[in-house]
């Protein structure tokens, strides 16, 4: 899916894409992985066809100095956001190490809190992800594209039965009682894999084992599952409740009802958690290196080298792709339409409300040209808003500003309800019938669903304005695959 060029097409294409997604969602259960690491062209809104010749003759408004200011600010924000993500991941690693070394309820809760903190800056980086069709080919660059890299870091949902024990009745793609943690060897399809010793390298090798995108073994959401376990509350209140005894490598070891509770299993669970966290730190370290100033053969140097080519197009494309194709559709509307808690972005921890809000904030960061670091400082000094003004498109800038303010208000409501009132996304997406069984009135549930619906609609409206703003500076098509020539 790529970014459509008319209101009618945006709505009709979104409907088509949504129906396809719903079919896929309904054929998987558990947290069965959606193609979060698919190419940007497949995970964003649809575009109309336009000849390559027409695209290549388009001239973007704005002088070279304005473009360079925009790209420098963008790159500085990417650098800061990934550095924050790495710093918080290292704090998460320290908390995980403490939990495994000394499994107490206090240490488990500290690790969960560290996970929550680590997700805040990372969720704001997802706007950078949709770059697959833009970056230049460079065999010397350690990371080919963010979109290709991201699958090992943030793939979701995942088929948790492959990793660890699940409740009876779980009906995921992987349905063997043997999993990575409780077995020394597992078989996935025709693939046999030794799992006796868990290392970061093994987890990376096993990611999507057997060719299935549901078989996620790495990244934030594998860590999330290992810290919280399955959320068995449905649309009711409460997240996963993994007992700390799951990490006690002694006679107190637990491993789910009816499963082996040998100390070795709990020890291996700790090994998995530590290995997954180490791999996350390794991957973020690699990405931070890609955004350092004055570097060669990096994603930053590639972006700056394309200042007169397709870099501005890429930025608009990324904003629209996350806003419509990914956030509004894949992450929100699928769950909203189905009332399925398995389609939450963070279905184990019930932190989806924050992921949504930070995804939206990441898009706004690029528009405003500022990223607020974890420490409270501000990075960036030039965004799409000022770029449009400098290009003589003040009206477009003001329209976008108004659209972003509506999006911000909608997501602030969702985040505040989740944080202050304990009403999480799984409770917001419940159908009236589902909510009634939880003792929630139809009136109250329609109000809760209205928060989600407003945010989805505001993202759709924002995408319309992004499209018209791009047109105002000569970008008539935002198709990453066919709109760029290297």
Q: What percent of the chain has pLDDT over 70?
A: 85
Residue 28 has a pLDDT of 41
- Segment 147-194, tens digit of pLDDT: 999 999 999 889 999 999 999 988 888 988 999 999 999 999 889 999
Please tell me whether residue 378 adopts helix, strand or coil conformation.
Answer: strand
pLDDT surpasses 90 at 3: no
pLDDT surpasses 80 at 210: yes
pLDDT surpasses 60 at 23: no
Highest mean pLDDT among 10-14, 209-213, 392-396: 392-396
pLDDT surpasses 90 at 260: no
Between the CA of residue 332 and those of 157, 256, 416, 460, 469, what are the distances in Å? Answer: 13, 31, 17, 12, 25
* pLDDT tier for residue 48 given thresholds of 50, 70 and 90: very low
pLDDT surpasses 60 at 60: no
Residue 485 has a pLDDT of 30
- Of 247-261, 279-293, 344-358, 467-481, which gets the smallest average pLDDT? 467-481
- Between CA 445 and CA 132 the distance in angstroms is 40
Residue 8 has a pLDDT of 32
- Segment 291-306, tens digit of pLDDT: 999 999 999 999 999 9
Cα–Cα nearest to 176, from 186, 191, 167, 190 = 186
* pLDDT tier for residue 479 given thresholds of 50, 70 and 90: low
The long-range contacts involving 377-386, CB below 8 angstroms and separated by at least 24 positions, are 379/76, 379/77, 379/79, 379/80, 380/73, 380/74, 380/76, 380/77, 380/80, 381/69, 381/73, 382/69, 382/70, 382/72, 382/73, 383/70, 383/73, 383/74, 384/70, 384/315, 384/316, 384/319, 384/469
Sign of the C-alpha dihedral computed for residues 336, 338, 344 and 345 taken in this order? negative
Residue 303 has a pLDDT of 97
* pLDDT tier for residue 62 given thresholds of 50, 70 and 90: low
- Please give the mean pLDDT across all residues of the chain: 87
- Segment 314-330, tens digit of pLDDT: 999 999 999 999 999 99
pLDDT surpasses 60 at 42: no
Tokens of 50: 């336009």
Neighbours of 193 (CB within 10 A): 15
Higher pLDDT pick, 46 / 321: 321
Residue 56 has a pLDDT of 34
Residue 184 has a pLDDT of 96
- Between CA 415 and CA 354 the distance in angstroms is 6
- Segment 116-152, tens digit of pLDDT: 999 999 999 999 999 998 999 999 999 999 999 999 9
Tokens of 390: 């400098």
Residue 5 has a pLDDT of 30
pLDDT surpasses 90 at 22: no
- Between CA 157 and CA 171 the distance in angstroms is 14
The three-state (H, E, C) secondary structure of 130-152, written as one string: CCCCCCCCCCCCCCCCHHHHHHH
Q: What percent of the chain has pLDDT over 90?
A: 77
Residue 156 is classified by DSSP as: B
Which residues does 35 contact at the CB level (< 8 Å), separation at least 6? 42, 43, 213
Tokens of 45: 């809104």
* pLDDT tier for residue 50 given thresholds of 50, 70 and 90: very low
* pLDDT tier for residue 453 given thresholds of 50, 70 and 90: very high
Given a contact cutoff of 8 angstroms between Cβ atoms, the answer to whether 33 and 154 are in contact is: no
The whole-model pTM stands at 0.88
Domains in the chain and their CATH numbers?
7-160+279-472 (1.20.1420.20)
Residue 480 has a pLDDT of 44
């Amino acid at each position: 899916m790529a970014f459509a060029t008319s209101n009618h097409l945006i709505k009709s294409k979104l409907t088509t894409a949504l129906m396809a997604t719903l079919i896929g969602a309904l054929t998987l259960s558990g947290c069965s992985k959606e193609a979060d690491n698919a190419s940007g062209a497949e995970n964003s809104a649809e575009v109309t066809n336009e000849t390559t010749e027409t695209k290549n003759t388009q001239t973007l408004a704005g002088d070279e100095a304005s473009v360079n200011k925009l790209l420098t600010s963008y790159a500085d924000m990417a650098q800061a956001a990934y550095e924050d993500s790495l710093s918080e991941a290292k704090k998460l690693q320290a908390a995980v190490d403490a939990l495994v070394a000394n499994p107490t309820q206090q240490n488990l809760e500290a690790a969960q809190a560290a996970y929550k903190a680590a997700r805040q800056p990372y969720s704001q980086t997802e706007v950078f992800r949709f770059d697959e069709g833009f970056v230049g080919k460079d065999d010397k660059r350690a990371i080919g594209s963010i979109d290709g890299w991201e699958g090992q870091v943030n793939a979701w949902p995942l088929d948790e039965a492959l990793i660890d024990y699940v409740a009876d009745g779980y009906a995921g793609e992987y349905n063997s009682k043997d999993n990575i943690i409780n077995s020394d060897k597992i078989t996935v399809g025709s693939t046999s894999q030794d799992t006796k010793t868990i290392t970061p390298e093994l987890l990376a090798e096993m990611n999507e084992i057997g060719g299935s995108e549901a078989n996620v073994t790495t990244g934030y959401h594998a860590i999330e599952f290992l810290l919280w376990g399955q959320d068995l509350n449905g649309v009711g209140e409460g997240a996963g409740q993994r007992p700390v005894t799951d990490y006690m490598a002694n006679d107190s070891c637990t491993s789910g009802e009816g499963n082996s509770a040998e100390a070795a299993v709990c020890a291996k669970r700790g090994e998995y958690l530590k290995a997954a966290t180490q791999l996350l730190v390794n991957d973020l370290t690699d990405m931070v290196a890609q955004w350092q100033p004055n570097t060669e053969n990096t994603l930053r140097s590639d972006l700056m080298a394309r200042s007169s080519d397709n870099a501005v197009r890429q930025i608009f494309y990324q904003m629209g792709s996350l806003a419509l194709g990914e956030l509004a559709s894949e992450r929100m509307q699928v769950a909203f339409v189905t009332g399925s808690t398995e389609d939450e972005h963070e279905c184990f921890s019930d932190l989806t409300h924050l992921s949504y809000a930070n995804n939206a904030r990441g898009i706004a960061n690029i528009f405003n040209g500022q990223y607020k670091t974890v420490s409270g400082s501000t990075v960036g000094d030039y965004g799409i808003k000022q770029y449009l003004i400098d290009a003589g498109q003040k009206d477009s800038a003001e329209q976008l500003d108004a659209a972003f303010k509506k999006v911000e208000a909608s997501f602030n409501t969702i985040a505040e309800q989740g944080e202050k009132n304990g009403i999480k996304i799984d409770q917001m997406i419940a159908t009236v019938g589902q909510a009634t069984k939880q003792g929630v009135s139809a009136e109250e549930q329609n109000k809760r669903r209205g928060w989600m619906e407003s945010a989805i609609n505001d993202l759709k409206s924002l995408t319309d304005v992004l499209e018209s703003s791009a047109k105002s500076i000569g970008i008539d098509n935002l198709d990453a695959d066919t709109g760029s020539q290297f």
